[in-house]
Structure 1
Amino acid sequence: MPLLTRRSFLVTGIAGLAGTATVSGAAAVTGLPAAVPAARLRTDPFTLGVACGDPGPGGFVIWTRLAPRPLAEDGRGGMPARPFSVRWQIYADERGRRVVRRGETTAAPAWGHSVHVEVDGLRADREYWYRFKAGRHLSPMGRARTAPHRTSYGSGLTMAFASCAQYEHGYFTAYRRLAEEQPDLILHLGDYQYEHRAGGYVIPGGSVRLHDGPETETLADYRHRHALYKTDPDLQAAHAAAPWLVVWDDHDLDNNWAGAVPERPGVPQPHFRRRRRAAFRAYYENMPLRRRSVPRGTGMQLYRRIRWGRLAAFHMLDTRQYRSDQACGDGYRDCPEAADPARSIIGGEQERWLLRGLRRSRARWDLIGQQVFFAQRDSDTGPAKITSQDAWDGYVASRRRITQGWLDAGVRNPVVLTGDVHAHWAGDLRLDYDDPAAQTVGAELVTSSISTGGDGGDSDPATHPFLAANPHLKFYNNQRGYVLTRIGRGLLSADFKVLPQVTRPGARAYTRARFLLEDGIPGVRQAYLRPLDDRAAQAAAEEQV
């Protein structure tokens, strides 16, 4: 697309319509001194790209953050400590000729000079484009989309979901390939960035590229780490390609944290509340989130519901902020306390919110976007039950309440979307996993990581020991990638996309397996599985771009 000039931005801005918009962040919470024009910014401040998120039938939120020196050690991105005015425009065409909304907002130093504009009054089920201007500098163009009207099924939905991008473990090529799919919506299910110091999370073969700095603990640390990730051009391409729905997981703050409890509860960490407050603030500053998610103190509202007309409802969960602490440690354990009905992985209030939303939903597909493995994964092929206490297996009663809840509500097609485990999985969901005769009551699709774990490796999915011990699990793959779904009234198809390597940039993505979910028929059905010994196809996939 042609780059708009400063003059064309001004001319089309005059011709455009002043639209309805809400400014989030500091301007929404506290009074600000008058913003100064950004004409004095000599260096391009749009080094972190643009993003869009949380679409509705009438609009979405658009984001950017001013940072002429994005990796400045103080986390301020090279910006002076005063607010700056930023102009924005929404276009009906990719070339930026038809302005439909425009406005001006403030990038404040208290919020890392981030900008969150909630745009309303647009047409439902439409593509739009957007960009920002600060002084003489223009941002890249981003693509946005509105959801269908609540009474409409719309024209179908192409949705991709991803998780776990460790900068040191590999290149973000999977983000680039995801952007090239041109989805309507992207879900990120956590571990957007990792908190470790440089070289603190090592894989065989060593790091591909290093985090700059110590383990993140202060606001400056988290701002700097987010900026490091956002300077990656592949990640910027994914953000500019479509609106995102984001939720966090543990590494966005601290490995395996649970509520007010850090990773190592036995080690005194009196600063953990300050660390949590800093991580939440930086997360908001760097994500396309609406005003309802502005952090307040040590809390931040991330669980929310996004409706895609009558076709789909996305129930986005937070399995970290409200959970009971892991009962028997974080790893695989035989843990009787996991069945304690008083324990919850999402907290009582969020459980009630989710169950209420499922009862009221009239969507064809109800998709629960969340972080950790939902179905039972017993790692012991014998009579013992050895499961991960950091996943829903550590909160058995909580899982049963949610599953029983969608059964009682008569949810037509419940689907759980999951990240965290750095591998692709597909499986059926049951109310009682210990009963061989238990009926299938839903489906779970799990995405591999973008880069965490390095290249991984392909294998025969039927040989994984977890599949033998858990007959409800149907597919496994340990390569990096993402999941691309196409959702219609009668069918949801899920392509498990993989890359042969991420320790070198430029690999092509290919479909390792495809599973189908049919309307009214719970569970997954395999439709395609690429042969492991398909060497010609593998060679083509490994071709460098």
Structure 2
Amino acid sequence: MGPETRTLADYRLRHAQYKADPDLQAAHAVAPWIVTWDDHEVENNYADLVAEEQEPYPTLEEFTARRSAAYQAYYENMPLRTSARPTSADMQLYRRLTWGRLAAFHVLDTRQYRDDQPGGDEFPAAGPERDEPGRSILGEQQETWLLDGLESSAATWDVIGQQVMFHEHDYVPGVDRGFNPDSWDGYTANRQRLLDGFAERRVANPVVLTGDVHKHYAADLARVAADPDSAPVGVELVCTSITSGGDGGDAYPTRDSELRDNPDLKLANDQRGYVVARLDRRELRADFRVLDRVSQPGAPVSTRASFVVEAGRPGLQEA
């Protein structure tokens, strides 16, 4: 694809390269899109105006200029309304869309307002910094907007579209524990306030949609993570990448330990693909679709796993 993107011209060219893909053009033509970004629209694992630790940025001004360029190119090339037009180095992307009384889509931005990752973004992380009460991945204003919107929602399904893994996810096999500091596991107090909000504000059917990790995961969201007696207050559907990561496979080295050490986790898969979610008044059905390969065109598509969530009854059930 070319060198690292840094200038407005670089970012515009990279968007143009992607938009030249006939399959992406067909995907844009066939359905409306609700888009949000993560880190790679600017650079890997950035946090607000903090560049990735190993990047050699001598000044804040240089990274601010890079972020501004990336935001401008994103606005120019993605299906967004004029309300998202960047102002200086900022761009409000979080927003809410409704589909009648069936679904409300609460679209988040967990990049622009977050505190820096704990522990210098070292993976896996297990230190106490990630549990500090004042740490936020959303920022105070966006968190208030989200919780108030969930409480006032009249929709059957409240779908939270966002970037990084929400459920607690231990990556280290055995008795030791280790987490991804770039995910909500680096901001546990902020996550707990949302989980408490799901319960206390009686959000009937919260569904968190996630990307980032290039794997399929499906998980229940217990109010108290890793407590077997804590009932689910929502679910999370994590969608794999379309092509990034190569062909992949159903199994990978830590899959079995992840399923064993994370009791709320119902699926772990390292193939490429997508998730199809169908909603009606009674239930949500999620089909995790996978391809045998992406290194060559024409691979067959199949359903690796399917889950159902009944309206008013949080928790994943195998379909």
* TM-score normalised to structure 1 length: 0.57
Q: Residues 454 and 489 from structure 1, CA distance in 2 versus in 1: closer, same or farther, beyond 3 angstroms?
A: same
Q: What SS class does the counterpart of residue 284 from structure 1 fall into?
A: helix
Task: Return the match for 2:155 from 348, 355, 363.
Answer: 363
Determine if the alignment matches structure 1 residue 436 to structure 2 residue 225: no
Residue deviations 1:119-157 (CA, integer Å, cap 9, x gap): xxxxxxxxxxxxxxxxxxxxxxxxxxxxxxxxxxxxxxx
Q: Residues 269 and 515 from structure 1, CA distance in 2 versus in 1: closer, same or farther, beyond 3 angstroms?
A: farther
Task: Return the match for 2:72 from 258, 266, 281.
Answer: 281
In structure 2, distance between residues paired with 1:300 and 1:306 = 18
Task: State the match for 1:446 in structure 2.
Answer: 238
* Matched ranges for 1:4-23 at <5 A: none
In structure 1, distance between residues paired with 2:102 and 2:218 = 22
Shift of 1:252: 0.6
Q: What SS class does the counterpart of residue 250 from structure 1 fall into?
A: coil
Q: Higher helix share goes to which structure?
A: 2
In structure 1, distance between residues paired with 2:226 and 2:130 = 15
Determine if the alignment matches structure 1 residue 417 to structure 2 residue 206: no
State the AA in 1 paired with 2:89. Answer: T
Determine if the alignment matches structure 1 residue 264 to structure 2 residue 53: yes
Task: State the match for 2:315 in structure 1.
Answer: 523
Unaligned runs of at least 5 residues, structure 2: none
Task: Return the match for 1:400 from 184, 189, 192.
Answer: 192
Shift of 1:262: 0.6
Q: Higher strand share goes to which structure?
A: 1
Residue deviations 1:191-233 (CA, integer Å, cap 9, x gap): xxxxxxxxxxxxxxxxxxxx1x321000000000000000000
Shift of 1:380: 3.0
State the AA in 2 paired with 1:225. Answer: R
* Matched ranges for 1:110-125 at <5 A: none
In structure 1, distance between residues paired with 2:214 and 2:58 = 29
In structure 1, distance between residues paired with 2:10 and 2:253 = 40
State the AA in 2 paired with 1:252. Answer: E
Q: What SS class does the counterpart of residue 196 from structure 2 fall into?
A: helix
Q: What SS class does the counterpart of residue 514 from structure 1 fall into?
A: strand
Task: State the match for 2:38 in structure 1.
Answer: 249
Q: What SS class does the counterpart of residue 13 from structure 2 fall into?
A: helix
Whether the 8 Å CA contact 2:132–2:189 is kept in 1: the answer is: yes
Task: Return the match for 1:238 from 23, 27, 30.
Answer: 27
Shift of 1:237: 0.3
Task: State the match for 1:31 in structure 2.
Answer: none
Shift of 1:459: 2.9
In structure 2, distance between residues paired with 1:408 and 1:369 = 21
Whether the 8 Å CA contact 1:461–1:477 is kept in 2: the answer is: no
In structure 1, distance between residues paired with 2:24 and 2:298 = 13
Q: What SS class does the counterpart of residue 92 from structure 2 fall into?
A: coil
Task: Return the match for 2:105 from 283, 296, 314.
Answer: 314
In structure 2, distance between residues paired with 1:348 and 1:243 = 30
Shift of 1:441: 1.1
Task: Return the match for 2:166 from 374, 384, 388.
Answer: 374
Shift of 1:461: 11
Shift of 1:415: 0.6
Q: Residues 462 and 341 from structure 1, CA distance in 2 versus in 1: closer, same or farther, beyond 3 angstroms?
A: closer
Task: Return the match for 1:388 from 167, 170, 180.
Answer: 180
Shift of 1:476: 1.0
State the AA in 2 paired with 1:335. Answer: G
In structure 2, distance between residues paired with 1:298 and 1:462 = 40
State the AA in 1 paired with 2:23. Answer: D
Whether the 8 Å CA contact 1:430–1:440 is kept in 2: the answer is: yes
Displacement over 6 Å in runs of 4+: none
Unaligned runs of at least 5 residues, structure 1: 1-210, 528-545
* Matched ranges for 1:79-478 at <5 A: 211=1, 213-264=2-53, 267-270=56-59, 271-330=62-121, 331-459=123-251, 464-478=256-270
In structure 1, distance between residues paired with 2:58 and 2:3 = 17
* TM-score normalised to structure 2 length: 0.96
In structure 2, distance between residues paired with 1:464 and 1:266 = 34
Whether the 8 Å CA contact 1:428–1:440 is kept in 2: the answer is: yes
Aligned residues between the structures: 316
Find the structure with the greater CA-based Rg: 1
Shift of 1:382: 3.7
